[in-house]
Structure 1
Amino acid sequence: MAVLKLLLICLLFLLLWLPIDFMLGRKKQLQKVTQRTFPLRHGDISLITYGKTLYETLFYEIECATNHIHILFYIVKNDEVSQQFLALLKRKAKEGVEVRLLLDRIGSYRLSQRTIKSLRASGVHFSFCHKIRLPFFFYSLNQRNHRKITVIDGKIGYLGGFNIGKEYLGLNEELGKWRDYHLRIEGEGVQDLQEQFLHDWCDDTKEDLLKETRYFPTLPKGSMAHKFVPTDGAYLKHTFLELIHKAEDNLFIGTPYFIPNTEIIEALLQAVKRGVTITILVPLKADHPLVREAEFPSFRQLLAAGCNLYHYKDGFFHAKVILVDDVVCDIGTANFDLRSLFLNHEMNCLIYDKQFISHVKDVLQEDLAKSEEIPRDYFAHLSFAEKVKEKIAKLVATFM
């Protein structure tokens, strides 16, 4: 009886402490965060949609690096694909190339201490970022660095939705094929990716390399206007709202997790009222529990308003893309959910090139052809279990 009483007291304390921890941690974060902006740049950008293509291109260009390799990923696993990637970094470090690898502490938790020791012994500068810290343990546990940035010799950059692991090659039996959008960038915008990486590196290692000119070679202008938008658990909402308000005819949103806040839903509903055709694409399969049910409240409103909602069926759709008319395309690391909006550190790229936008529209048509439209009466046929899950999902939506 005494043991049960003690367990109940501990549970009550936990339930009281977690929201206080989160609230105070969030307050402290907002006090110190500032909105970082980058100017409009011109470069050459290509879109990569399959893991095999990305890894072949990325690994080849890492192999060709002569000066430095700076890489930030949310997830690097401990599987054979990850080991191939890490072996390449170790080999380049032994050749005398500066290699810095920054991984999110929670996202890359599978990386073993043995592997980390091997990286460092080979000369790779390695650090975990966003380590769990007191006094706000629960908040720091949830505030992740979700950016995926690669900079090679200060001249070539990568940004997008892919991480490192075999599932991104479509080798996960449950999820099947993996569909994602990743950017390869050349031109003057690469310096902004470099600056963001070095800013994150300094945050976690206290090694300030931002004034080291060797990491910022003179870069040519390319043909595509674009702008990088970093967000640190704040300000992403403003970017999304600005894109929604800009739409005049068509708005396309592709995301693996559609769990926005009330203000964004209201903006989408207002867009419909002014005549904007809204299309939203999400995966039919879910890679996390309760994700599908967490989408139900928003989808219910948007279907009723006349939006076009689709489930991607050909594997798992992990791309993060917003397309506004033929004016601007947003591709990056941020999902259309509460975690990206108010917790994660993200990096997106706004692209203002008509030819690139036309290509993205063609790719999206391919993805829609592999999808099924969600019928207007979809929510009239929910099972009892789905209704219960939806109620639970509402309670934990911020942390999904």
Structure 2
Amino acid sequence: MSSLFWIAYAVVTLWSIINIIFYGTRATKMISWSLTVIIMPFLGPMLYYLFGINRRKFKLFKLKQNEKRKLYSETYKELKGGEQSVHEFADYKHNKIASLIRSNSYFAPYEGNKITLLNNGDDAFGAIFKAIEAAQDFIHLQYFILEEGDLLDRLYELFAKKLKEGVEVRMLYDSLGSHALRGKVVKRFKEIGVQAYPSLPIRFGNLLFTLNYRNHRKIIVIDGKIGFTGGFNVSDKYIKPISDLGLWQDMHIKIEGPAVNSLQRIFVKDYHFASNEDLLLQNRYFPKVSPVGTSIAQTVSSGPDSKYPAIMQQYLTMINVAEKSICIANPYFIPGEPILEALRIAALSGIEVNLLTPKKSDSLLAKYSMFSSFESLLDVGVNIYLRPDFSHSKVIVIDGEIASVGSGNFDYRSFEHNFETNMLIYDKQIVRTIDQLFGDHCKKNIRLDFSKFKNRSILIKFMEGLAKFFSPLL
């Protein structure tokens, strides 16, 4: 029996390592998975089979629907009739970022937008409900998490009212992120006429090809004229302290103007993938939107179907072109060595680098992984601030001139495995407001002291080191 065990262990482990060698994408990740399958008999290979295999080369990413996703992106690189709204930057910094996103996400920067910052749950959902109340043609909603509670009940009531008025309502939700959304709740929405579909449904037949790839986006488009995106999910934890972490904080934006069409393109592509319904070919869902403000905005979209890791490239480019300051707020700051090195270079070059993260986390592994990189950052002069509450915001600001607000975290899950959406804001007035909010949080929250931090206990350092081992897999 013992011999059979070791033979089976050797075969399974060897199979896993061969797959890692042939299909691995990054050396650090390959090493982590190799050690995992070696030191965890059978469990390690099982975890690798579920979460480690690069399935872009396999079934999911050869599906006909996914080919259509790519065709959508490549065919509709610019908006029909919207070319007059495309902004061309003259300076190096803005042009480099905008050109990158235009090449890797196929979205241009558009002029004539009005952007409203929504910095807490009451403001965000108040604005969302008000916009839904005023919808006249269609409501398109997409969230990673739809959770039962007061907010979802309010959405149901509004949808029921708007459907009676003849407004179309479409809703996407991630099947894993919204796992608590029982069938009868979805059925309740469908019974009133909501066209609701799960993104990447987890079913027996496709479990191995979808489990590790999630749709993490948060998007609402109303009548093709008003859009919302950012970090909020539809969960009551944003409006009342029902979580162990207390009241969750986040940042969202409301956008009106030509850039809304970019959010609509993302929704339509995802909706087709979930429902097989072709909305993109119907012009009524892409109305020509006149300028309504003075802000320039550009959408960043990335996912497992993308040719390039657009979110990672966006963050890395913003860090590299910064001249004065870099401010990052993120709850899962586990970016990997390229971005860590870029931040160290920036700090050593005299650029002020500020990192704002929550002291508490909803994931202990993520917290220790995040803290494991702090000592090397503090050593070169990066300022790290810990918020006592749980901030879920995903924000980066450079030089007080360019800001990004969205769903993308600073981790490999957002860089490689999740469908994500960020919005780049090229408006000094809006960006200064975000910068001011960031600065206010830094002033009133705990700033890590390098000398004290490096003297933390041996046990904490061990936990961080252990978590760092798994960080390329997060």
TM-score by length of 2: 0.78
Residue pair 1:101, 1:124 contacting (<8 A) in 2 also: yes
- 1:26-65 equivalent positions in 2, closer than 5 A: 26-28=56-58, 35-42=104-111, 43-65=113-135
Q: Residue 200 of structure 1 corresponds to which residue in structure 2? A: 270
**What are the ranges of 5 or more consecutive residues in structure 1 without an aligned counterpart?**
none
SS in structure 2 of the partner of residue 394 of structure 1: helix
- 1:223 pairs, out of 286, 294, 314, with 294
1:30 Cα deviation from its structure 2 partner: 7.8
1:275 Cα deviation from its structure 2 partner: 1.7
Q: Residue 377 of structure 2 corresponds to which residue in structure 1? A: 302
Report the Cα distance in structure 2 between the residues aligned to 1:20 and 1:193, rounded to whole angstroms: 34
Residue pair 1:202, 1:208 contacting (<8 A) in 2 also: yes
Q: What is the aligned-residue RMSD (CA, Å)? A: 2.5
- 1:278 pairs, out of 353, 376, 380, with 353
Residue pair 2:105, 2:310 contacting (<8 A) in 1 also: no
Report the Cα distance in structure 2 between the residues aligned to 1:267 and 1:248, rounded to whole angstroms: 13
Report the Cα distance in structure 1 between the residues aligned to 2:366 and 2:265, rounded to whole angstroms: 34
Does residue 16 in structure 1 map to residue 45 in structure 2? yes
Moved more, 142-151 or 126-135: 126-135
Moved more, 121-130 or 163-172: 163-172
Report the Cα distance in structure 2 between the residues aligned to 1:318 and 1:256, rounded to whole angstroms: 5
Does residue 151 in structure 1 map to residue 246 in structure 2? no
Show CA shifts across 1:121-180 (max 9, x none). Answer: 110000000223677745621211111000011111000011111101142352223221
* 1:105 aligned partner, one-letter code: S
Show CA shifts across 1:317-365 (max 9, x none). Answer: 1111111103311111111122111211111111111111111111112
Q: Residue 311 of structure 2 corresponds to which residue in structure 1? A: 236
SS in structure 1 of the partner of residue 268 of structure 2: helix
Residue pair 1:281, 1:312 contacting (<8 A) in 2 also: yes
Does residue 269 in structure 1 map to residue 339 in structure 2? no
Q: Residue 397 of structure 1 corresponds to which residue in structure 2? A: 471
**What are the ranges of 5 or more consecutive residues in structure 2 without an aligned counterpart?**
13-39, 71-103
1:75 Cα deviation from its structure 2 partner: 0.6
Q: Residue 257 of structure 1 corresponds to which residue in structure 2? A: 332
1:116 Cα deviation from its structure 2 partner: 1.0
Report the Cα distance in structure 2 between the residues aligned to 1:16 and 1:303, rounded to whole angstroms: 36
Q: Residues 87 and 393 of structure 1: is their aligned pair in 2 closer, same or farther, counting only changes over 3 Å?
A: farther
Q: Residue 402 of structure 2 corresponds to which residue in structure 1? A: 328
Q: Residues 121 and 173 of structure 1: is their aligned pair in 2 closer, same or farther, counting only changes over 3 Å?
A: closer
Moved more, 276-285 or 333-342: 333-342
SS in structure 2 of the partner of residue 323 of structure 1: strand
Q: Residue 15 of structure 2 corresponds to which residue in structure 1? A: none
Report the Cα distance in structure 1 between the residues aligned to 2:170 and 2:427, rounded to whole angstroms: 32
Q: Residues 177 and 18 of structure 1: is their aligned pair in 2 closer, same or farther, counting only changes over 3 Å?
A: closer
1:90 Cα deviation from its structure 2 partner: 3.0
1:20 Cα deviation from its structure 2 partner: 4.3
Residue pair 1:142, 1:399 contacting (<8 A) in 2 also: no
Q: Residues 17 and 136 of structure 1: is their aligned pair in 2 closer, same or farther, counting only changes over 3 Å?
A: farther
1:92 Cα deviation from its structure 2 partner: 2.0
Report the Cα distance in structure 2 between the residues aligned to 1:27 and 1:18, rounded to whole angstroms: 18
Show CA shifts across 1:243-268 (max 9, x none). Answer: 01110111111111110011111111
Q: How high is the sequence identity, in percent, across the aligned residues?
A: 34
Residue pair 1:145, 1:344 contacting (<8 A) in 2 also: yes
Residue pair 1:94, 1:123 contacting (<8 A) in 2 also: no
SS in structure 1 of the partner of residue 385 of structure 2: strand
Q: Residue 132 of structure 1 corresponds to which residue in structure 2? A: 202
Residue pair 1:18, 1:138 contacting (<8 A) in 2 also: no
The number of residue pairs the alignment matches comes to 397
Q: Residues 125 and 378 of structure 1: is their aligned pair in 2 closer, same or farther, counting only changes over 3 Å?
A: farther
Residue pair 1:130, 1:145 contacting (<8 A) in 2 also: yes
1:57 Cα deviation from its structure 2 partner: 1.4
* 1:250 aligned partner, one-letter code: S
Report the Cα distance in structure 1 between the residues aligned to 2:326 and 2:240, rounded to whole angstroms: 29
